[in-house]
Amino acid sequence: MSKTSQYQTEPKLAFGTYEDARAMIGHHGKVAFAESEINWPAIKLFCSATEDSNPSYWDPDFAKEQWSGIIAPPGMMMTFMLQLLWRPEGARATPFLAFDVPLPGDTLINVSTEAEFVKPFKVGDHINAYDTLADVSAEKETRMGVGHFVTTVTTYRNQTGEVVARNTNVMFRFTAKRES
């Protein structure tokens, strides 16, 4: 009997000092490719969660006339780079450079994003992306705990190499205030 796997849902974080983190500013992560091409079943699942009835996502005739095919909501952008929890040869690490930034905090929470969309995400597009570390803040205290704000810029391209979107993301890497 084969044993069940233990899902690794908590990212493997790099640990270090603020100075270590600052030294990484300007670094690029590896280019990572989406597990699958953008596909209609994934779009419908996403829209069933947000309860989004936009016919650009549901009605092939309308979508063909307007966009030359079904498109994905822009909000799906980050889903393209998220990884399966299990694969035959082992799960792949989530390709977020923010996790590789050495800092003291043992957990994280996402804070803000600023996205620029160049063209729609279309069914059949095979998206790839890479991160650049843009900034690491000095130590700050928030309602969550003490930590650092980590700013990354992600460049998304399609299979022809065209840039389709850019996203600037700020994540708070912190140690929680633990009561009791």
Partner 1 sequence: MPGQTTKFQVFFEDAREGDRLPKIELDASYTKLILAVAATGDWFPSHHDPEYARKQGQKDIYLNTTFIAGFLDRIITDWAGPRTFIMKRKFSMQRSIFAGDTVYGEGIVKGCRKDDEGKGLIDVDVMMSTQDGPCVPASATILVPCRGEE
- Name the site residues for partner 1 (rule: CB under 8 A): 7, 9-11, 42, 45-56, 62, 66, 73-79, 82-85, 107, 109-117, 120, 143-145, 176-179
Shortest reach from residue 60's CB to partner 1, in Å: 13
Q: Which is nearer to partner 1, 40 or 62 (CB)?
A: 62
Nearest alpha-carbon partner for 171 in 155, 149, 138, 154 = 149
Euclidean distance between CA atoms 115 and 166, whole angstroms: 6
Give residue 49's Cα distance to chain centre: 18
Q: Which is nearer to partner 1, 15 or 86 (CB)?
A: 86
Longest Cα–Cα distance in the chain: 60
Euclidean distance between CA atoms 147 and 28, whole angstroms: 22
Shortest reach from residue 1's CB to partner 1, in Å: 26
Shortest reach from residue 74's CB to partner 1, in Å: 5
User: Which two tokens mark 170?
Assistant: 């700020």
Shortest reach from residue 89's CB to partner 1, in Å: 19
